[in-house]
Every structure is written in C-alpha cells, then in structure tokens.
Amino acid sequence: MKKLLTLSCAVCALSGSVALSQDLVFEPGDDDRFDWDSYNALKSDEFAGQSIRVFGPWLGQDRVLVESVIDYFEAATGITVDYSGSDSFEQQVVIDAEAGSPPDIGVFPQPGLAAELARKGQLKPLAEGTEHWIVDNYAAGESWAQYGNYLGPDGETHQYGFPFKADVKSLVWYVPENFEDAGYEVPETMEDLKTLTEQIAEDGETPWCIGLGSGGATGWPATDWVEDMMLRNNSPEDYDAWVKNELPFDDPKVIAAIEDYGWFSRQDDFVSGGAQAIASIDFRDSPKGLFDFPPQCYLHKQASFIPSFFPDGVEIGTDVDFFYLPAYADKDLGQPVLGAGTIFAQLTDNPVNAAFFEFLESPIAHEVWMAQRGFLTPYTKANADVYGDPTLKKMGDILTSATTFRFDGSDLMPGSIGAGAFWTGMVDYASGKSARDVAQQIQQQWNTLK
C-alpha cells in the first residue's frame, strides 16, 4: 500500500506541474485575424476575485478546448471560472438544481431539458436584449433565438438560453478517390443522390453505411435522417409544428419523411450489412466501412463530429471529404440545414454571470475555439478566416449560408419522445415495421403526455 501511495504522489506531482502552465493559446494582439478589440473591451475589474461555477457535458479533449476559451475570460476580468464536465450532465444538473446546489451556468446539449428547468423556475432569464442580439448577430438568428426562448414559471416566455457552439448534421461523408476510381460525381440535388445510390447498387457495390447502435440511445442516428428528410419534403413551418406535436406524428407528411429515409435504409442492396443489420451496428463503427478496400460503402451521413471516429491518420479533405445532403430540386424548399448546438443558461442570480454572457457575445470567445478544433458558430461577426482547418470553414459556410436552419427535432421534443419513443420507433422501423405503425406508436406515446 505504501508503495502505491508513493507512486500516486509521484503521479500527482507530475500532473500538478502540467496544470500550472495556464497560458493563453493565442497571444493577445499577435494575430490580426482575431478581434482583439473585443477582447480588450472585456477588460474590467468590477468582479475581479469572484468566481462562478460552469457545468457542462464536455469531457476530455473537449474540456481542454472549452477551458482554453474560458482562460481569456479569466484573464480579462480576473473572475475565476470553475468548469466541470460530466457525461451524465442531463441527470446531474437536474439533481443539483432540485437539491438547491445548482451551478451558476449550465451548458445544455438539449434545449428540451433547458425548457423543462425553465418551466420549473430553475433557470433565470438572461439580460434584456439578449434575444435581439441573437436575432441580429447569428445567421438564421430567429431560429437560434427560439432555441433559448422558453416558457417561464410565470407563464410568459423569456430568453433563458444563449446558443454557443453549433454542429451541422446535414452532411454526407465520402472518399473522393473512391468516387474517382468508380467514376461517380458528387450529387447536387436529392434526385441526383438517389440516382447515384441506384447506380452504385447496380455496379454491384454498396452505397451506404448506416449504424444506429449507441448503447442506451440506440436509434438516434435514424432520427437525424428523418429530421433531414422532413426538412426536404415539408416546409420549415411544418417541421416546427411537428416538433411541438401540432402536426401529429402519424400525419401523412411525417410518414412520407420516414419512408423517404426508408428508401435509403430499408433496401438490402443499399446498405452495408443489409437493411436489418443497421440497428446492431454501432454508429461509431459504421463510418469505418468507407475506409475498407474494397470499400464496404461509398456514402455515410453523419454530423460534423464524426471525424473523431475515423481511423488514425485519415486526413479530411484528402482521404475523406463531405458534401451537403442536398435538397430536392423540384420542391423549392431552399437549402435547409439541420443542426444542433449547446445552450448556455444561468441557474443562479449571481451578478457575475452577466459578465460571462457578455464574454460569449464577443467575437473573441468564438474565434479562439474556431481557430482550434471542433467548433462551428453561426455568429456572423466572428472572422471565418480563423477556422483551424479548411474543413471547419467549409462546414461553417454551410451553416452561415443556410436559408433555413432547424435544430435537431428530437432534442426539442419532450424527453420521453425525443430521447425515448422516437429512438425505439426507429429501431422497430429498421427491423421491418411499417412507417405508419411506427408513427402511430410514437403518437400514442405522445398522447399519454398531454
């Protein structure tokens, strides 16, 4: 035991020295692509020496990234930010809020959960004018503002959430050189994508890799498919009504969207491993078929985070690339983009919180993360030139040029639907149940909530 303790002390000392070196990742004033004026404008001693607690879902590498952004806030204001992350954020923030020891600021991956806490009075509205700020400064600002706009305990809606960090979901990944070898072209419209799918299958190859497995959340990748198809078959207004259940889940429009997803996923020739297998393939493993030789599949639809599950050494832009999941040419619904994002909201009345939200409104908060990895923003004042790599820039372009942006619908629905019946319904659909039955079953579940 003594030996173990000595060992652990040694490890402890080692890790201590790492933690000490807290430098800013980019020296202020150095690189003029960054908006250093906005950093300098933040400098203030008003709350120096005070501290706030921020609780979010980011762990590991992501935690290092978010802390590198927060460092600038600490340097400018002298406020200490104590960030902690958890992969069970959704459960824990509820426990902490209910028990009366909430963090000052929570980072919500799902607006649905934030809305629920707002209704119970556990979120505090943001400063006046935040809503206007989002509408004016974010691309598709009205959509973004709406995701932080919830009904409070007083029966009125307030701006509770501030969206910061976005993910684009409407992406299809492919290996450009495999396309060259086979003579395929990147499709510009949904019709072309369907023709391409048929052509690949005719050539005796498999077009798609789809995997729905995700432990307790199995089925969620299919909800993204359905949401994307919803936006490509119906108007954004229909989508909004669907998310609120004003348009019932078993409406023909929704069933058509599910079946449109089924066109890709339910034909054995179109899916690697066969249509029945997709529910048992883990979503983290499913893109690997792109990198087998001969390729197990040529196309994979997944959000912007998926490269972290590509094999080691794969270079985006050379070895693999992506294109926007196109819209139907003959439906005139514009270029809809499905995405997700995290929402910052305050759970206490701590006056220091306001300073933090002011920081999130400054371009520098966005740019520092953009210049590193895995961060997209709809903030139009943040300089797109600072994006750490061309891939992020390309994704950022998709986001800022979207004519319609819609948030991941399953995240907006009540938890037992969006993180329950919808998921299991999609697994049932994969195993052969009809779209109508699945839709009715989800709607019945929703009816019990009313």
Among 305, 351, 444, 449, contact with another protein (rule: CB under 8 A): 305
Among 2, 99, 128, 216, contact with another protein (rule: CB under 8 A): 99
Q: Which of the ranges 154-162, 265-273, 291-299, 431-439 carries the binding residues for another protein, by CB under 8 A?
A: 291-299
Among 71, 74, 282, 397, contact with another protein (rule: CB under 8 A): 282
CB of residue 42 to another protein, shortest distance in Å? 24
Q: Would you count residue 11 as binding another protein (CB under 8 A)?
A: yes
Among 450, 398, 26, residue whose Cα is nearest residue 228 = 398
Among 64, 47, 94, residue whose Cα is nearest residue 347 = 94
By beta-carbon proximity to another protein, the closer residue of 149 and 178 is 178
Q: Cα 213 to the chain's mean position, in Å? A: 18
By beta-carbon proximity to another protein, the closer residue of 148 and 287 is 287
Among 437, 421, 424, residue whose Cα is nearest residue 218 = 424
Q: Would you count residue 15 as binding another protein (CB under 8 A)?
A: yes
By beta-carbon proximity to another protein, the closer residue of 99 and 450 is 99
Q: What does the per-residue mask of binding to another protein show for 204-243, with x meaning CB under 8 A?
A: -x---------x----------------------------
Q: Which of the ranges 123-131, 219-227, 292-300, 425-433 carries the binding residues for another protein, by CB under 8 A?
A: 292-300
Residues that contact another protein, how many (by CB under 8 A): 57
Q: Would you count residue 62 as binding another protein (CB under 8 A)?
A: yes
Among 136, 285, 385, 389, contact with another protein (rule: CB under 8 A): 285
By beta-carbon proximity to another protein, the closer residue of 65 and 134 is 65
Q: Would you count residue 9 as binding another protein (CB under 8 A)?
A: yes
Backbone angles phi, psi at 184, to 5 degrees: -95, 155
Q: Would you count residue 59 as binding another protein (CB under 8 A)?
A: yes
Q: Would you count residue 181 as binding another protein (CB under 8 A)?
A: yes
Query: Which tokens hold the place of 48?
Result: 């120096």
Q: Which of the ranges 92-100, 186-194, 333-341, 425-433 carries the binding residues for another protein, by CB under 8 A?
A: 92-100
Q: Would you count residue 80 as binding another protein (CB under 8 A)?
A: no
Beta bridge partners of 54: 83, 105
By beta-carbon proximity to another protein, the closer residue of 88 and 450 is 88
Q: Which of the ranges 111-119, 127-135, 221-229, 284-292 carries the binding residues for another protein, by CB under 8 A?
A: 284-292
By beta-carbon proximity to another protein, the closer residue of 308 and 447 is 308
Give CA–CA dist 54/47, Å, rounded: 16
Is the distance from CB of 234 to CB of 253 less than 8 angstroms? yes
By beta-carbon proximity to another protein, the closer residue of 93 and 364 is 93
Q: Would you count residue 21 as binding another protein (CB under 8 A)?
A: no
Q: Would you count residue 41 as binding another protein (CB under 8 A)?
A: no
Positions touching another protein (CB under 8 A) are: 4, 7-16, 18-19, 53, 55, 57-63, 82-88, 92, 95-96, 98-101, 175, 177-178, 181-182, 205, 215, 282, 284-285, 288, 292-295, 305, 308-309, 311-312, 318
